[in-house]
């Protein structure tokens, strides 16, 4: 099975200057744990609910990128708290490759890029579980029908 068959098709993404409150609202409304950040048609980072909590709120607006003083939490943007250097998968990668990379980088979800280098989805551990269950159900159904 390929990543493109198991992933969530498409995804909401934000620009780096999106207010953090808007990013948090997207996470809540879509019941997701992260949102990709894109700039000039390139994936430049990810904002997770943990990034918001730790880099934004818990540090009172201060984060590792701060030089002198940071803006108040209410003025932070996606760029202020995002994780840069995002790892990603190709939609044509096989699931073994995906699992290996997710394990290697200790990630529960990864953006998926197509051959035109466009963000086309997100692969999460939940997607993998559902895909494996579908695959196993299909194998079982084939095995059962072969005996009849």
The answer regarding whether domain 3-146 maps to CATH 3.10.580.10 reads yes
SS3 assignment, position 17: coil
Position 148 pLDDT exceeds 60: no
What DSSP string runs through 20-87?
Answer: HHHHHHHHHHHT-SEEEEEETTEEEEEEEHHHIIIIIIITTT--TT-SS-PPPGGG-BHHHH-B-S--
For residue 144, give the H/E element and its range. helix 125-146
SS3 assignment, position 9: strand
- What tens digit of pLDDT does each residue of 114-127 get? 998 888 999 988 88
- Cα gap 72→47, rounded to integer Å: 18
> Phi/psi at 41 (nearest 5 deg)?
65, 25
Domains of the chain, residue spans: 3-146
- What tens digit of pLDDT does each residue of 59-117 get? 655 544 544 455 667 788 999 999 998 899 999 999 889 989 999 998 888 999 999 88
The closest of 119, 117, 118, 99 to 109, measured between CA atoms, is 99
- Cα gap 20→79, rounded to integer Å: 9
- Cα gap 97→108, rounded to integer Å: 14
């Amino acid at each position: 099975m390929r990543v493109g068959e198991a992933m969530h098709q498409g995804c909401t993404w934000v620009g780096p200057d999106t207010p953090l409150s808007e990013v948090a609202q997207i996470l809540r409304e879509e019941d997701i744990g992260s949102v990709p950040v894109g700039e000039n048609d390139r994936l430049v980072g990810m904002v997770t609910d943990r990034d918001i909590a730790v880099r934004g709120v818990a540090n009172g607006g201060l984060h590792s990128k701060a030089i002198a003083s940071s803006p108040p939490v209410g003025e932070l943007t996606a760029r202020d708290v995002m994780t840069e250097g995002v790892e990603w998968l190709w939609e044509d990668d096989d699931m073994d490759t995906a699992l290996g990379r997710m394990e290697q980088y200790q990630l529960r979800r990864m953006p998926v890029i197509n051959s035109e280098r466009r963000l086309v989805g997100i692969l999460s551990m939940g997607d993998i579980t559902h895909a494996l269950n579908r695959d196993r159900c299909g194998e079982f159904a084939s095995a059962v029908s072969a005996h009849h």
